[in-house]
Amino acid sequence: MSSPRVQWFLVCLALLIVGCNPALADDSEAPAAQGPYFHINSADPAVDRLPLKSTRASVRIAGVIADVTITQRYRNEGTKPIEARYVFPGSTQASVHALSVRIGDRLINATIREKQQARIEYAQAKTEGRTAALLEQERPNVFSMNVANILPGDNVDVELHYTELIAPVDRRYQFVFPTVVGPRYVASGAGFPGSPHLHAGEPSNTAFDLDLRIDSPLPVSDIESSSHAIDVRGAGSRRATVQLREREPSNNRDFILSYRLAGDRTATGLMLYKGAKENFFLALVEPPKFIKPAAINPREYIFVVDISGSMHGYPLDTAKELLRKLIGGLRSTDTFNVMLFSGSNSLLHETSVPATAANIEQAMRVIDRQYGGGSTEIVPALRRIAELPKPAQQSRTVIVVTDGYVAVENEVFALVRRNLGNANLFAFGIGSAVNRHLIEGLARAGQGEPFIVTRPGEAAAQTERLRKMIDSPVLTQLRARFEGMEAYDVEPQVLPDVLGGRPVVIMGKWRDDATKHNAVRMVLAGQQADGAWSETVRAPAPDDDAVALQMLWARSRIRQLSDEEALTGGGDQREAITSLGLQYGLLTQYTSFIAVDRFVRTSTAATTVDQPSPMPAGVTDSAIGAEVPSTPEPATWLALLVALTALAALPLWRRRVALTGGTLAGRARTGDK
């Protein structure tokens, strides 16, 4: 170190490092942020950073089909043109089939395009100074809206339309309208858009309103919402309307509405639609009632519990209550194990243990100690479950409890399909704005059922429902046969077992069979606990208004193809899905809606702003990242005061030394001077 050469080398190195000015670094090509982050408002008043002023949902439910129109109003209150980007949720079953943009008096209807083509057209319109809107699908339940060139003072209304099937569960109909995308944990390469979030409890600047109308062949009753305060008109009649009552923030959680039809009946049967080129049908068949089996075999239960940051607080409290009911209700002949996962995962026992009171109490103690923190590495957790040795004599049931705030849905589905073997998987979504795509997809891949628990009070009922399903499926070996028409492209191709509560839903296309014109019917047959079961459903005449059937069928087929694609991990079904999207005018992962104004409106480049979403109710800032305390030095002015005080002490010290006649100096070493 003391060698002059080494010293010169160090000096040169230091100069070289200083010379490499970080200001010269170019990050313009850096990839865009992925994953959630906290919104920071700009100090520049010329740019309106919160352009989405309101969202309005108008819902019309006719029978079992809901037509939803969402109107997003963007207004630029700044003085510079902006491009607004907004990531928002949709129903997992939504068939998005139309988009339009209204600027003043002009209405621009969007067209469906292949995704890359739409992006090119959008980028060109943006550069040219035309107002344009691009709607893309990020996930089946997450969309991103891009609106380019919103000029100062503009009101731009973007309307999108979707259709979905409302199938009853336990004879109760439920309509869900998600209002917010929960902050997803995004591992590298998950391909999820980075989106800003407001802090927990911070009110959104975006107004939200919803009106809903139900038209039913039977009187509608028991209309209630577990999520929002509502005003209901026409309850008990065939037409009921629902309005949001509250003025408090209502766009930070799913809107959930449920109702029954008179006499606890359900609108089931066979519905036909005769189109110009193709004909479609939809069959809903109520399964028989649950029959308690004579003997129940012991089972192995593995509980996989998410304890990540987004579960901190209310969601984890709800999950604990659910687990208390689930684990507490096991039979002593059952065995169980518990896995807790966040960034890492840990199993309570090496192998499953009997559900004795002591083991259950120990498990609950461990679960109760969790407070939620860290990331959400669900894939390694499920992989570890798949590798657990399975007892030969016991059936395995895996129960996943999570809010689903991850962006690796396809990877999870493929893992469950490939590796969980004969185990049934039941997924519990916990929270006010659950990622239903993950919960429903997990259950579908694991041949189980999805459950949503929004508060601790629902835990007992959902546990009871699960227990019934696990004890005995209602129908197995289900087959459908059509008479009087030729059915093809039937969805699903293989009917799953019916676990109870939910009707059998079959969609497909049909051709006339002229020889049996008056005897069109579907026969559904299967096995239940006490023997064979069958049900015959006769079809009425085709309904000209049931045009939505073609979109529902196409959406179902796209879901099936997406599942297959997720399993192979490539883009095998890209062409088929694109073709379906373009043919039926549907938004898919490979097709997007694009609307471009024909007028060039500005020559000023627009500033891009990302509209923030509120934090879902009950979710804390831990979902994105809690502040880690640090130990900064004192304030600069205080530090400076200390240094100057030390300097001021110098004359005092020297005077003291002088007064003591050099006593102090005598003690000091003098050789230096």
Partner 1 sequence: MNVALRRPPVAWLALQALALWPHALWMGSRMRDGSDDPLGVVALAALAVLVVRLAPRLRGQPDLRWLAGAVLLTIASTVATLCLPPLPASLIAALALAAGIAAWLPPGTARLPFVGLAVLALPLLSSLQFYAGYPLRLATAQLSTWLLTLVGIAAERSGATMEVGGRLIIVDAPCSGVQMAWMAYFTAFTIAALTNLRDAVFLRRLPWVGILVLAGNAVRNAVVVALAARPAGVGEVAHQATGVAMLAAVCALVLWVMHRGVARAQPA
Planar angle of CA 103, 108, 112, nearest 5 degrees = 140
Rounded to whole angstroms, what are the CA distances from 360 to 296, 354, 357, 396, 461? Answer: 21, 9, 5, 18, 20
Nearest to partner 1 of 217, 662 (CB atom): 662
Q: Measured between alpha carbons, how far is 476 from 580 in angstroms, rounded to an integer?
A: 31
Prior bond to 203 cis, omega within 30?
no
Nearest to partner 1 of 40, 514 (CB atom): 40
Q: Which residue has the tokens 């990622």?
A: 435
10 Å CB burial of residue 400 (0-12, 13-18, 19+) is buried
Q: In the bound complex, what is the minimum distance in angstroms from residue 226's beta carbon to partner 1?
A: 37
Q: In the bound complex, what is the minimum distance in angstroms from residue 667's beta carbon to partner 1?
A: 9
Q: At 465, is the secondary structure helix, strand, or coil?
A: helix
**Gyration radius of the chain over CA positions:** 31
Nearest to partner 1 of 603, 636 (CB atom): 636
Nearest to partner 1 of 104, 671 (CB atom): 671
Q: In the bound complex, what is the minimum distance in angstroms from residue 665's beta carbon to partner 1?
A: 3
Closest CA to 346 of 301, 315, 304: 304
Nearest to partner 1 of 605, 639 (CB atom): 639
Q: In the bound complex, what is the minimum distance in angstroms from residue 377's beta carbon to partner 1?
A: 18
Nearest to partner 1 of 37, 290 (CB atom): 37
Nearest to partner 1 of 523, 665 (CB atom): 665
Closest CA to 196 of 386, 317, 35, 43: 35
Nearest to partner 1 of 578, 620 (CB atom): 620
Query: Dihedrals φ, ψ of 59, to 5°?
Result: -120, 130
Structure tokens at 348: 């309570």
Q: In the bound complex, what is the minimum distance in angstroms from residue 33's beta carbon to partner 1?
A: 20
Q: Which residues bind partner 1 (CB under 8 A)?
A: 15, 17-19, 21-24, 628-636, 638-640, 642-643, 645-647, 649-650, 653-655, 657-658, 662, 664-666, 668-673
Prior bond to 492 cis, omega within 30?
yes
Q: In the bound complex, what is the minimum distance in angstroms from residue 638's beta carbon to partner 1?
A: 6
Nearest to partner 1 of 545, 672 (CB atom): 672
10 Å CB burial of residue 152 (0-12, 13-18, 19+) is middle
In sign, the C-alpha dihedral spanning 440, 442, 448, 454 is negative
Closest CA to 274 of 517, 94, 576, 522: 517
Q: Measured between alpha carbons, how far is 457 from 62 in angstroms, rounded to an integer?
A: 31
Q: In the bound complex, what is the minimum distance in angstroms from residue 85's beta carbon to partner 1?
A: 29
Q: In the bound complex, what is the minimum distance in angstroms from residue 622's beta carbon to partner 1?
A: 13
**Cβ atoms of 283 and 505 closer than 8 Å:** yes
Q: In the bound complex, what is the minimum distance in angstroms from residue 68's beta carbon to partner 1?
A: 44
Q: In the bound complex, what is the minimum distance in angstroms from residue 655's beta carbon to partner 1?
A: 8
Helices 314-328 and 459-471 cross at an angle (nearest 10°) of 40
Contacts of residue 670, defined as CB under 8 A and 6 or more positions apart, other chains included, come to none
Structure tokens at 52: 């989405």
For residue 278, the Cα-to-chain-centroid distance in whole angstroms is: 33
Nearest to partner 1 of 24, 494 (CB atom): 24
Contacts of residue 441, defined as CB under 8 A and 6 or more positions apart, other chains included, come to 409, 412, 413, 563
Nearest to partner 1 of 519, 659 (CB atom): 659
Structure tokens at 134: 């691009």
**Cβ atoms of 238 and 215 closer than 8 Å:** yes
Enumerate the H helices of 287-368 as residue ranges.
Answer: 314-328, 357-368
Q: In the bound complex, what is the minimum distance in angstroms from residue 10's beta carbon to partner 1?
A: 13
Nearest to partner 1 of 492, 625 (CB atom): 625
Write the Ramachandran bin of 121: left for phi over 0, alpha for psi from -120 to 50, otherwise beta.
alpha
DSSP state of 666: H
Nearest to partner 1 of 79, 663 (CB atom): 663
**Cβ atoms of 94 and 141 closer than 8 Å:** yes
Nearest to partner 1 of 16, 541 (CB atom): 16
Nearest to partner 1 of 19, 531 (CB atom): 19
Nearest to partner 1 of 383, 656 (CB atom): 656
DSSP state string for 63-123: TTEEEEEEEEEEE--SSS-EEEEEEEE--TT-EEEEEEEEETTEEEE-EEEEHHHHHHHHH
Rounded to whole angstroms, what are the CA distances from 303 to 326, 398, 424? Answer: 9, 6, 12
Closest CA to 619 of 351, 339, 317: 317
Contacts of residue 462, defined as CB under 8 A and 6 or more positions apart, other chains included, come to 322, 428, 451, 453
Q: In the bound complex, what is the minimum distance in angstroms from residue 396's beta carbon to partner 1?
A: 34
Q: Measured between alpha carbons, how far is 426 from 442 in angstroms, rounded to an integer?
A: 8
Q: In the bound complex, what is the minimum distance in angstroms from residue 17's beta carbon to partner 1?
A: 6
Helix (H) or strand (E) holding 124: helix 115-128
Structure tokens at 445: 């891949």
Q: In the bound complex, what is the minimum distance in angstroms from residue 659's beta carbon to partner 1?
A: 10
Nearest to partner 1 of 493, 645 (CB atom): 645
**Cβ atoms of 112 and 581 closer than 8 Å:** yes
Structure tokens at 165: 């099937």
